[in-house]
């Protein structure tokens, strides 16, 4: 079982120090989320009962790849992934170049967590078609893999082309989302699946059964397929071992969400000091025991 630090919603000036602390504490990866802007969205947010986002205009959403570049520069083993990057809200070549460059500069420490997104307004803002986003992502992923491997490809009537720099190792692709379409996409095109909400055991078991069925339908097995599942379970080593037995290869944690009243009083709500203190406690009480 590997542990990913879920660092979304952190202030931009905290990410570099969070990356240093995550590597020191034994986290395998750090993940952050992707949003382009804040507005009074008409699109319903699918992960709250109200349909409204859980953040406001003051919440930081730094660019994923710029931030990964900064964090990679101060670490040597920590991996990085968006959870998730909304690739079909961009054009193919912008995505290819950003991700490839981040992988090269981090010395192959990038995972491409990718999804189709829910916010129509962001697609309108970038001039991309919201309604064909799933179909376009399906078409993008094989071409992205080819471009990242240094191959010459022909796309949309353009002359044969390639990009540079490209990484030394393949970039893992983890498909996010728990809709049937997302699970089918993960089983067909992904190296793994990454959850997009915090799952109870009952919820996760349902998703896992569906995912296993789609893998079977594509002639694939769970062997070698990564499953990164954010879990609404007590942060205990024994609990995580039980999920590892189910096939979970990694989970996501933001230890400051479970800060004690004493920790909050000592360090202050939302501070970098609180985040690092709770990460260190999580490392001692959970990671070290795994």
Q: Which of 80, 123, 127 is nearest to 101 (CA)?
A: 80
Q: For residue 230, what pLDDT is reported? A: 95
Q: Stretch 205-233: mean pLDDT, rounded?
A: 96
Q: What is the pLDDT of residue 177?
A: 95
Q: Over the chain, what is the mean pLDDT?
A: 96
Q: Could you give the C-alpha distances from 215 to 115, 143, 190, 192, 229, in angstroms and in order?
A: 18, 22, 10, 11, 17
Q: Which tops the pLDDT comparison, 55 or 260?
A: 260
What pLDDT score does 48 carry? 81
pLDDT tens per residue, range 8-51: 999 999 999 999 999 999 999 999 999 999 998 889 888 888 88
Q: How many residues comprise the chain?
A: 290
Q: Check residue 153 and report its DSSP letter.
A: B
Average pLDDT on 166-194 reads 97
Position 46 scores a pLDDT of: 84
Q: Which band of pLDDT confidence, cut at 50, 70 and 90, is reported for residue 119?
A: very high
- 2-289 topology per CATH: TIM Barrel (3.20.20)
What's the pLDDT at 52?
86
pTM of the model: 0.95
Q: What are phi and psi of 161, to 5 degrees?
A: -145, 160
Confidence of residue 280 (pLDDT cuts 50, 70, 90): very high
Q: Which residues pair with 79 in a beta bridge?
A: 29
Q: Nearest Cα to 255, choosing from 12, 18, 1?
A: 18
Question: Where residue 211 falls among pLDDT bands split at 50, 70, 90?
Answer: very high
Q: Which residues contact 37 (CB under 8 A, 6 or more apart)?
A: 121, 122, 125
Q: Residue 216: count other Cβ atoms within 10 Å of its Cβ.
A: 12
pLDDT score of 174: 98
What is the pLDDT, as a whole number, of residue 49? 82
pLDDT band at 124 (very low <50, low <70, confident <90, very high): very high
């Amino acid at each position: 079982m590997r542990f990913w630090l879920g660092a979304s919603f952190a202030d931009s000036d905290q990410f570099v120090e969070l990356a240093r602390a995550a590597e020191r504490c034994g986290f395998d990866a750090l993940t952050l989320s992707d949003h382009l802007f804040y507005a009074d969205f008409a699109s319903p947010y699918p992960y709250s009962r109200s349909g409204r986002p859980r953040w406001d205009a003051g919440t930081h959403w730094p660019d994923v790849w710029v931030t990964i570049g900064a964090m990679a520069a101060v670490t040597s083993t920590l991996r990085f992934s968006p959870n998730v990057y909304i690739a079909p809200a961009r054009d193919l070549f912008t995505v290819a170049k950003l991700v490839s460059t981040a992988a090269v500069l981090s010395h192959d420490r990038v995972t491409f967590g990718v999804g189709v997104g829910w916010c129509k307004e962001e697609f309108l803002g970038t001039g991309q078609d919201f309604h064909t986003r799933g179909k376009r992502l399906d078409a993008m992923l094989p071409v992205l893999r080819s471009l990242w491997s240094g191959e010459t490809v022909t796309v949309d009537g353009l002359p044969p082309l390639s990009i540079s720099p490209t990484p030394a190792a393949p970039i893992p692709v983890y498909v996010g989302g728990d809709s049937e379409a997302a699970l089918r996409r993960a089983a067909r095109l992904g190296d793994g699946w990454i959850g997009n909400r915090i799952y109870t055991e009952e919820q996760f078991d349902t998703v896992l059964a569906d995912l296993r069925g789609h893998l079977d339908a594509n002639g694939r097995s769970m062997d070698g397929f990564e499953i990164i599942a954010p879990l609404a379970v007590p942060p205990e080593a024994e609990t995580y071992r039980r999920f590892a037995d189910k096939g979970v290869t990694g989970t996501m944690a933001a230890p400051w969400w479970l800060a004690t009243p004493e920790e909050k009083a000592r360090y202050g709500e939302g501070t970098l000091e609180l985040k690092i203190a709770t990460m260190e406690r999580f490392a001692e009480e959970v990671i070290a025991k795994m």
